[in-house]
Amino acid sequence: MADVEFDFERVRRIGLAEAVLGAGKNAGQLIEIVETARSRDVPVLLTRLSLEAGEALSGRFGAAVDYDPLSRTAFVGAVEGPSGAPRVAIVTAGTSDLPVAVEAERTLAFNGLAVERFVDCGVAGLWRILRHEEALRGFPVVIACAGMEGALFSVLGGLIGGLLIAVPTSTGYGLAEEGRTALHAALVSCAPGVVVVNVDNGFGAACAAVRALNLATPRR
C-alpha cells in the first residue's frame, strides 16, 4: 500500500487542486498515486515527470492520462480545461524556454484559465518585445520565462502595470549557473514590483496567477 496522503481539502481551502511533483518518484510510486487518484475520483496534475515515468504512465493508463512530453506534465481525471478570454499572457525570451512556458500554460489550463503566448521576445532584438507592448498592457497577469541574464524581466517590468511573475529558466551555460543568474536578476530588477518563483517553476508561476486572479471573487 502506498505511503500517499492526498490533501483533498486543498482546492476548497486555497483554490488550487492537488498536484504531485514527479521528480524523485519512480514509475511504480507514480502509478500507485494515479491509481489512488482515479479510485477516489480526484483530478491530479503531475509535474516534472521523467521520460521513463511519462512513458510508463502512458503505457499503463493510455488516454486516461493526458501526458505532454514537452512540459513533462500529465493530467489525471476529468479536467475541464481553459475557458473564457485569456487573462494571462506568457512571454518567452527564446525557444529553449518553451518547456517551462508550457508547464505554466498546462497548469493554468488544469485550473480552467486560458492563456495567450508570446514567444522569442529576447531583448537583444528589442523590437521583438516592443511590438507586443500594447497587447501585453491589456493583461492583468504576465508570466515571463527567461534564462541567461533575465534582462527581459526588467524591460517588461518597465513597460506594463499588471502583475509580472518572473520564471527564471535554466537556459544558458557557465555563469548562467543553471538559472541562478536569471533568478538573481529578477530579484534585483530595477523595475519595481517584479515577483519571482523557483528556477524552471512554470507550475508555481501559474499557481500564483490563479491566486492573483482569485482576487476578482469578493472575499471580504
Judged by CB under 8 A, the chain residues 124 through 163 that form the site for a second copy are 124-128, 137-141, 147-151, 153-155, 157-163
Cα distance between residue 122 and residue 89, in whole Å: 16
- 27 contributes a contact to a second copy by CB under 8 A: no
Told to check if 103 binds a second copy by CB under 8 A, we report: no
Q: Where are the alpha helices (DSSP H) in the chain?
A: 10-14, 27-40, 51-61, 98-110, 127-130, 133-136, 151-159, 180-187, 202-213
215 sits near a second copy (criterion: CB under 8 A): yes
Q: Is residue 164 within the footprint of a second copy (CB under 8 A)?
A: yes
Q: Any contact of residue 54 with a second copy (CB under 8 A)?
A: no
CA 118 – CA 139 distance, rounded (Å): 12
Asked if 23 interacts with a second copy (CB under 8 A), we say yes
Least separation in angstroms between residue 110's CB and a second copy is: 12
Q: Are the C-beta atoms of 119 and 137 separated by less than 8 Å?
A: no
Rule CB under 8 A: say whether 195 interacts with a second copy.
Answer: yes
Strands, sheet with 73-76, edge to edge from the N-terminal-most edge strand: 19-21, 44-47, 73-76, 65-68
Is 200 a residue that touches a second copy (CB under 8 A)? yes
Judge contact between 57 and 49, C-beta under 8 A.
yes
Q: Does 31 bind a second copy (CB under 8 A)?
A: no
CA distance 131 to 141: 18
Q: Which stretch binds a second copy (CB under 8 A): 20-28, 35-43, 60-68, 74-82?
A: 20-28
Supply the DSSP symbol for 199: T
Q: Please work out the total of residues on this chain that contact a second copy, with binding judged by CB under 8 A.
A: 107
Residue 216 CB, shortest distance to a second copy, in Å, is 7
Task: Give the shortest CB-82-to-a second copy separation in angstroms.
Answer: 16
Q: Does 59 sit near a second copy (CB under 8 A)?
A: no
CA distances from 179 to 122, 175, 188 (A): 16, 9, 14
Question: Smallest distance, Å, CB 148 to a second copy?
Answer: 5
The minimum distance between CB 102 and a second copy, in angstroms, equals 10
Closest to 146 measured CA to CA, from 127, 126, 120, 109: 120
